[in-house]
Chain A
């Protein structure tokens, strides 16, 4: 009982701190914000307070991310030169270093998850989970500090870091990780980390290649079409969708392996895997639907029409139809098992094409992240 009261007390403090920080931000930066930004700020505060109170580990993540980002910003002293001069910035907390830490930690947790999967020793499982949490935190810090850095380049250059392929890949990694961590905790499926982290590590490899080969980590100013508050909502919502679909596909891999009796001693029961895939796809589907609709609303404002059959839009529609069919078969027809598992795996191919292939091979209005 005492623990319960204590929990409630912490929840209360957490919400209070968030509320006061919001009020502080509103009063201090009021002159820089328009109504939409005020709504977005308050909306985010409420979302984080709610998430922090229903999911305690998220609260911890949030608090540490917040604290470390602030320390990082403090070290900058308003100048980009500090990245080279300040020891902590140079090796830990500057945006680039934080993201590099993330790219190191995710592969490490993948390896640890595999050791756990094969050895079945809880020590490794817990270690892997912790590593994933820390990697996610570093990713968040990297993006938040990058946001701040962009304003240090110049006030008019400053923008939320979801504007190009490099930034959204980092976003993809941390959102997928966060979704996975949520289900891992809720459904006790630690062993699936060995699969979900594969796709995250693949994204990490891409980030590294993109950084070192193409120098994509440079902060670029926003083209006029992207200068809209819609970007803050449309892009993250889309990536919750992509992340969830990617996770579903990786769990389907586990399902298919188990079904073929490969590693089956080491994997959860088939019905758990099936259920998990369903949960991932449904959350992804909802966010993807909302993101696509918001994209349409934005397009109506920026491009003169809510739908232009632009390749990205069209492929979003195909992704949507694909998962709509998947859900239809499962919910209405009651289909289960290998067919749906294969389907969700093919879904990942379609999704990846919509996410990356369109930028690579097709041109159109959405060409913000060209390779």
Chain B
């Protein structure tokens, strides 16, 4: 018993570790988290897969053994008690009971008493030729004791069921060296026999990732830092995958149209599965478990954010890499993911409260330079409302641990990127910029040519450094030019002036563009200053964007992949049966009260002794005992 409880406590502690330490993560994450030294120790102990660890299974096995031992030791006694009536008690011991009553009676009517007891569900044994007198032994609630057997047996059955569904078979095979976890990414056909589990494997929970139109004949078992191939008795084809959405854009259902074909007979069935609605075929249950991109096709436009170079087209696919030369650098674009629906908490102008809104597709890619360094990007196809104004959002980060930092490019009058792209080209057009400065100068109040010239070259300097590196570079340059002793306030004033100058130049550029292209309305007409400011900010931020390469998603063909889980679980039925037994047992133990009753009428006397006993003395039993003896008293008188 003590051993069993120790085992239970160990089980609890181990389970807690398993919940606190995230299980089955890629091993690299653990190394980053703990460092190499602790990583090795934790790995040896098996903390990354606690529930499959050898010692964990050992605890389970010990638990089964010791609980079984408990049962086998106590069951005979319980069964004996179950049958037995304690009819050898003496007057003295009967009177010593806590609930014992003695009273005189007129006439002893055994039949009436037994009938009364029977109607109260007592089992009765009547002993007339007792040495001390007439003895009625009654009892009820024997099931309470059986509850003990039920619950403990249930724990054993459930644990055995659980073990059946564990990976014990593989553990043994791994120990014997016949099976080995695979670490390399290989073609299915290349994987050696040691990395394959036979379709006769007792139990498994394997997974399959299928792109639309694909067929697969084996599943993958994730194991520690690698995987194994699980052979299955059929092939699965994903004919179609569908996601339905609620009006708010949140996913409502994931459905896979499957074609499952028996490998031996060639017999096939088609079935649509979804979450909560799996398909069971040949003893294997197929679940809708996940979805991801299956290699969507993308039509892209490649822009340079801070030069006037024209854009060009590019085609790609998710999971494909594109190589290109950009600003004299050889870059590799690695496309990682595409999501058609994205729900963000957005507040639109009319209502202040943020509401989940579908903001449309985005795609994820990495830009890797020649030295192998990469930055990750997440770019949305359509502009997103921020405080009522629309921006094209493209996030960037250096590692997956970081949050994306977003570049916000303002959308133009037609909610397209074109306005900004024209604007940044204008900024990079020396002639236009100098025209704009001149125009501003003409409208200014400077009297002398000298002052005008000085102002002109100053402005040109500011603009040039802005074009080369955004606001940051303007500030840096200013720090060089302004005397060190200038106060903070003076500096701030200067910065404000510079920003204003840059804005005014921007405004002139826009005005002159609009004058030259009168038929074309591209810059927002109702809120032009805001657009110019946002465009300048976006231009300035683009210097923190990594390579100034912006990918605009023009069109796409969505290809999806469905993640299926395949479960073979022969222990399930035992777990369920054990569970039913467990509930029954708990009911018996808690809600059935074992009661024993003795009624003795001594030989040649008119006094009756009524004694009651229960194995668990509870408050309500006091009341029950009084009431029962009272009733018996009434019957006899």
Residues 93 to 125 of chain A near chain B (Cβ within 8 Å): none
With both chains docked as a complex, state the minimum distance between the C-beta of A365 and any C-beta of chain B, in angstroms. 11
- Give the contacting residue for A156; candidates B23, B246, B587; CB below 8 A: B246
> Which of the segments B10-18, B391-399, B535-543, B596-604 contacts the partner chain?
B10-18
Q: Is A362 in the interface zone, CB < 8 Å from B?
A: yes
Q: Are B619 and A275 in contact (CB under 8 A)?
A: yes
Bound form: Cα–Cα A315–B17 in Å: 11
Contact code string A226-255 (vs B, CB < 8 Å = 1, else 0): 011000000000000000000000000000
Contact A215-B590, Cβ < 8 Å, known A302-B275, A321-B12: no
B533: chain A residues within 8 A (beta carbon): none
Interface string of A310-328 (1 = CB under 8 A from B): 0100110110011001010
Contact A318 B618 (CB under 8 A): no
Chain B 378-408 near chain A by CB (<8 Å), digits 1 or 0: 0000000000000000000000000000000
A10-18, A45-53, A282-290: which one contacts chain B?
A282-290
Interface-facing stretch out of A78-86, A140-148, A205-213, A216-224: A216-224
> CB distance A215 to B569 under 8 Å?
no
Residues of B close to A306: CB separation below 8 A: 569, 572, 575-576
Contact A156 B252 (CB under 8 A): yes
Cβ–Cβ contact B583 & A317, under 8 A: no
Residue numbers in B under 8 Å from A332 (CB-CB) = 148
Question: Which of B162, B276, B289, B575 neighbours the largest number of chain A CB atoms within 10 Å of its CB?
Answer: B276
Total inter-chain residue pairs, C-beta < 8 Å = 111
The one of B162, B247, B248 in contact with A307, judged by C-beta atoms closer than 8 angstroms, is B162
Are the C-beta atoms of A331 and B618 separated by less than 8 Å? no
Find out whether the CB atom of B276 lies under 8 angstroms from the CB atom of A275.
no
Mark contacts of B573-586 with chain A using CB atoms, 8 A cut-off: 1 yes-contact digit, 0 otherwise: 00110010011001
- Which chain B residues numbered 124 to 166 have a C-beta less than 8 Å away from chain A? 148, 162, 165
Chain A residues whose CB sits within 8 angstroms of the CB of B567 once the complex forms: 304-305
Task: From known contacts A154-B247, A300-B572, infer whether A224 and B11 are also in contact, taking CB-CB under 8 Å.
Answer: no
Q: Which of A157, A227, A309, A363 has the most CB of B within 10 A?
A: A309
* Interface residue B253 (Cβ < 8 Å from any Cβ of A): yes
Known: A314-B18, A317-B15; 6 extra A-B contacts, CB below 8 A, are: A157-B247, A225-B275, A227-B276, A289-B582, A304-B285, A309-B18
Residues B576 and A297 in contact, CB atoms below 8 Å apart? yes
Chain B contact-residue range equals 35 or more
Q: Is A301 an interface residue (CB 8 A)?
A: yes
What A residues does B12 contact at CB under 8 A?
A: 317-318, 321-322
The answer to whether residues A309 and B285 also contact, given A224-B253, A293-B579 and a CB cut-off of 8 A, is no
Inter-chain CA distance A300–B19, complex, in Å, is 20
Q: Pick the 8 closest A-B CB pairs, nearest first.
A: A224-B275, A311-B19, A304-B287, A304-B565, A293-B579, A282-B590, A309-B51, A221-B246
Q: Is A303 among interface residues, defined by CB-CB distance under 8 A?
A: yes
Q: Please, which residues of chain A bring their CB within 8 A of the CB of B62?
A: none
Partner of B276, one of A224, A278, A327: A224
Closest to A230 in B: B276
Given the interface contacts A275-B619, A301-B276, does A224 sit within 8 Å of B251 by beta carbon?
Answer: yes
Asked, given contacts A285-B590, A286-B586, whether A314 binds B16 with beta carbons under 8 Å apart, the answer is yes
| Cα distance, A322 to B250, chains bound together (Å) | 38
Which residues of A sit under 8 angstroms from B247, Cβ to Cβ?
154, 157
B85 at the interface (CB under 8 A from A): no
A167 to chain B, nearest CB (A): 17
B612 at the interface (CB under 8 A from A): no
- The answer to whether A296 has its CB under 8 Å from any CB of chain B is yes
A60 is an interface residue with CB less than 8 A from chain B: no
B274, A224: Cβ atoms closer than 8 Å: yes
Instruction: Assess whether B367 is interfacial by the CB under 8 Å rule.
Output: no
Q: Kindly state the separation between the CA atoms of A296 and B112 in the bound complex, as whole angstroms.
A: 51
A296–B353 touching, CB < 8 Å:
no
The residues of B that contact A314 with a CB separation of less than 8 Å are 15-16, 18-19
Bound complex: CA A204 to CA B275 (Å): 34
Q: Which residues of A contact B248 (CB under 8 A)?
A: 221
Cβ of B82 under 8 Å from chain A: no
Residues of A within 8 A of B252 (CB): 156, 221, 224
Residues of A with Cβ closer than 8 Å to B? 154, 156-157, 215, 220-221, 223-225, 227-228, 271-272, 275, 278, 282, 285-286, 289-290, 293, 296-297, 300-307, 309, 311, 314-315, 317-318, 321-322, 325, 327, 331-332, 334, 358, 362-364
A318 touches B590 (CB 8 A): no
A95–B287 CA distance with the chains assembled, in angstroms: 37
Q: Which residues of B contact A (CB under 8 A)?
A: 5, 8, 11-12, 15-16, 18-20, 22-23, 50-51, 148, 162, 165, 205, 246-248, 250-254, 274-276, 278, 285, 287, 289, 353, 565-567, 569, 572, 575-576, 579, 582-583, 586-587, 589-591, 616, 618-619
Among residues of A, the one whose C-beta sits closest to the C-beta of B356 is A220
Is the CB–CB distance between B586 and A285 below 8 Å?
yes
Smallest beta-carbon distance A346→chain B, Å: 13
What CA separation (Å) do A307 and B278 show in the bound complex? 16
Chain B residue with Cβ nearest A318: B12
B residues near A296, Cβ cutoff 8 Å:
575, 579
Candidate in A290, A306, A325, A327 with the most chain B CB atoms within 10 angstroms: A306
A336 to chain B, nearest CB (A): 10
Query: How far is it, in angstroms, between the C-alpha of A176 and the C-alpha of B587 when the chains are bound?
Result: 21
Minimal beta-carbon separation of A173 from chain B (angstroms): 26
Decide: A289 and B583 in contact? CB cutoff 8 A: yes
Asked whether A358 lies within 8 Å of B19 as measured between CB atoms, the reply is yes
- Docked pose: A220 CA to B275 CA in angstroms: 18
> B619–A272 contact, CB under 8 A?
yes
Query: How many angstroms between the C-alpha atoms of A130 and B18 in the bound complex?
Result: 46
Contact B619 A309 (CB under 8 A): no
Q: 20 A–B contact pairs at CB < 8 A?
A: A154-B246, A221-B246, A224-B253, A224-B274, A224-B275, A227-B275, A272-B619, A282-B591, A285-B590, A286-B587, A289-B586, A297-B576, A302-B275, A304-B567, A307-B575, A309-B23, A314-B19, A317-B15, A331-B590, A362-B20
Smallest beta-carbon distance A161→chain B, Å:
17
Contacts known (A154-B247, A301-B276, A318-B12); A362 close to B579, Cβ less than 8 A: no
With both chains docked as a complex, state the minimum distance between the C-beta of A285 and any C-beta of chain B, in angstroms: 7
Which residues does chain B contribute within 8 Å of A315, judged by CB atoms?
19
* Contact A331-B589, Cβ < 8 Å, known A223-B250, A228-B276: yes
When the two chains form the complex, which single residue of A156, A282, A301 contacts B278, counting CB atoms closer than 8 Å? A301
Q: List the B side residues contacting A303 at CB < 8 Å.
A: 287, 289
Chain A proximity of B528: nearest CB distance (Å): 36
Question: Are B590 and A321 in touch, CB under 8 angstroms?
Answer: no
With CB as the reference atom, state the residue of chain A lying closest to B203. Answer: A305
Of chain B, the residue at the smallest CB distance from A354 is: B19
| Chain B residues within 8 Å of A304, by CB | 205, 278, 285, 287, 289, 565-567
Minimum CB–CB distance from B520 to chain A (whole Å) comes to 42
Q: Which of B50, B274, B569 has the most CB of A within 10 A?
A: B569
> In the complex, what residues of A have CB within 8 A of residue B162's CB?
307
Question: Among the interface residues B16, B569, B572, B590, which one has the most CB atoms of the partner chain A within 10 A?
Answer: B590
Q: Cβ of B148: which chain A residues have Cβ within 8 Å of it?
A: 332
Task: Tell me the bound Cα distance from A364 to B289 in angstroms.
Answer: 14
Q: Which residue of B lies closest to A285 (CB)?
A: B586
| Docked CA distance A224–B619 (Å) | 49
Q: In the complex, what's the smallest C-beta–C-beta distance from B222 to chain A, in angstroms? A: 13
Complex-state Cα separation, A321 to B276, whole angstroms = 29
A297 proximity list for chain B (CB < 8 A): 576
Report the nearest A residue to B151, measured CB to CB: A324
Query: Across the interface, which residues of B come within 8 angstroms of A285, CB to CB?
Result: 586, 590
The answer to whether A290 touches B583 (Cβ under 8 A) is yes
A221–B252 Cα distance when bound, in Å, is 8
| Residue with the highest number of chain B CB atoms closer than 10 Å, among A331, A362, A364 | A331
Known: A286-B587, A296-B575. A305 touches B19 (CB 8 A): no
How long is the Cα–Cα vector from A300 to B575 in the complex, in angstroms?
11
A303, A315, A322, A358 pick with most chain B CB within 10 angstroms: A303
Cα–Cα distance between A297 and B579 once the two chains are bound (Å): 10
A223 to B288, CA, bound (A): 14
How far apart are the CA atoms of A321 and B165 in the complex, in Å? Answer: 21
